[in-house]
Amino acid sequence: MKIELTEDQLKMQAEFREFVDNDIIPFAAESDREERMHPKVLEKIIEKGYIGSMLPVEYGGMGMDMVTLGILNEEVGRGCSSARSLLTVHGMVALAILRWGTKEQKQYWLPKMAKGEIIGAFGLTEPNVGSDAKSVEASAVEEDDFYIINGHKKWTTMGQIADVFLIFARCNDKPTAFLVEKDRAGFSTTPMKGLMGARASMIAELHLDTCRIPKENLVGKVGAGLSHVALACLDYGRYTVAWGCVGLGQACLEASIKYSRKRKQFGTPLRENQLIQQLITKMLVNVKAARLLCYNAGYLKEIGDPDTIMETWVAKYFASKMVNEVASEAVQIHGGNGCHSDYPVERYYRDARINEIIEGTTQMHEVLIAMNAFRTI
């Protein structure tokens, strides 16, 4: 199989890189310090249409193929992990509506989401429920033409600024998906501060206290919330996170190369030290390997090959472990400077750690990958 980007993909890659260099990186450190996405970053992502990158043209989106979509997430991840997380969670909600929503839901929500008039967030995790998603405790009870939802969600990315939430709750004791608007009575959010990394992800806790939503806000069927809606969303989430890890790893590599060129110790630049060369080599090879796994997963998605689910697990598993190793090596190359916020690798190191937890922990991926191997080999 020949892996080669098309002329259009190369053009888009250059466009993404320029955008990130000019409109995301200059605000990344400030966003991290203030634990909020800089308004100009959100404005520019919407202005460029990237907020609707994953949606078809018929709904006002950019209709990107899966490889190009991956490249976008790599470049945005290179600039700011929190900005990349916006593309992930917004896309998860938009694609859930696209795949499982009614005609009316698609016509109402998707054009607004493609334009960035509405931001979506994904409400699955709870204080007592993380990896064991089938055990969600939030409940939904049918009453006349409504569902009454009660529950508490946690770690909801972009929960502080989202306009609509894809909420998972048990209905008739079956995990079910619902759309809940932020202005519904009984719905409220609490910002979460003090995160280790991805601090500008605008994470929030969600509170649903006798929150009444119309029946037409049901996504898919009762009982299909996890097996269909959530799993499809998480597959997209893992794919974009894997690409974001590649971008963050690339940022660590580039910062380390630049630093080792100008930094001198014992009268010579660090770049001439063989141990530094060894670290740079390992970083470069690992980033390239992760990128190739992502290309493979994206190609399989584009052609509709069911193996893409497994290959996305593999890509996310390897890329998230890779970026933690690469970020650690970047800090080591920077020495004491790498431990201070004057240098971006300090932020990269913290951001990297988040990726082995979100969209499925490393350990859950090991279970999934091993189980699949036992079934197929």
The rounded percent of the chain whose pLDDT value lies above 70 is 99
What is residue 263's predicted lDDT score, i.e. its pLDDT? 87
Grouping H, G, I as helix, E, B as strand and the rest as coil, residue 128 is: coil
- What is the pLDDT of the chain when averaged over all its residues? 96
Closest by CA to 357, choosing from 176, 125, 191, 153, is 125
Q: Are 217 and 180 in contact (CB under 8 A)?
A: yes
Instruction: Name the band, by pLDDT with cuts 50, 70 and 90, for residue 376.
Output: confident
Same domain, yes or no, for 261 and 366?
Answer: yes
Q: Are 93 and 120 in contact (CB under 8 A)?
A: yes
Instruction: Name the band, by pLDDT with cuts 50, 70 and 90, for residue 1.
Output: low
Instruction: Name the band, by pLDDT with cuts 50, 70 and 90, for residue 279.
Output: very high
Catalytic: which of 75, 311, 346, 359?
359
Token pair in block for residue 291: 């990128």
Residue 2 lies in a domain: no
Domain boundary among 168, 188, 222: 222
Task: Give me the mean pLDDT over the 106-132 stretch.
Answer: 95
Task: Give me the mean pLDDT over the 124-130 stretch.
Answer: 92
Instruction: Give per-residue pLDDT as tens, 310-356.
Output: 999 999 999 999 999 999 999 999 999 999 999 999 999 999 999 99
Same domain, yes or no, for 40 and 178?
Answer: no
Domain that holds residue 207: 120-222
Same domain, yes or no, for 276 and 339?
Answer: yes
Residue 174 lies in a domain: yes
Residue 83 lies in a domain: yes
Same domain, yes or no, for 236 and 329?
Answer: yes
How far is the C-alpha of 73 from the C-alpha of 85, rounded, in Å? Answer: 9
Same domain, yes or no, for 175 and 303?
Answer: no
| Residue 95 belongs to domain with CATH number | 1.10.540.10
Higher pLDDT residue, 170 or 272? 170
What is residue 163's predicted lDDT score, i.e. its pLDDT? 98
Task: Give me the mean pLDDT over the 8-20 stretch.
Answer: 97
Task: Give me the mean pLDDT over the 285-292 stretch.
Answer: 98
pTM for this structure? 0.95
Is 137 a residue of the active site? Answer: no
pLDDT reading at 7 higher than 90: yes
CA dist list (Å): 260 to 58, 90, 327, 334, 340: 48, 38, 15, 8, 17
Lowest-confidence pick of 25-29, 48-52, 58-62, 371-375 = 371-375
Residue 1 lies in a domain: no
What is residue 133's predicted lDDT score, i.e. its pLDDT? 79
Same domain, yes or no, for 142 and 180?
Answer: yes
Task: Report the number of distinct structural domains present in the chain.
Answer: 3
Instruction: Give per-residue pLDDT as tens, 151-209.
Output: 999 999 999 999 999 999 999 999 999 999 999 999 999 999 999 999 999 999 999 99
Instruction: Give per-residue pLDDT as tens, 196-206.
Output: 999 999 999 99
Domain boundary among 222, 244, 265: 222
Same domain, yes or no, for 143 and 279?
Answer: no
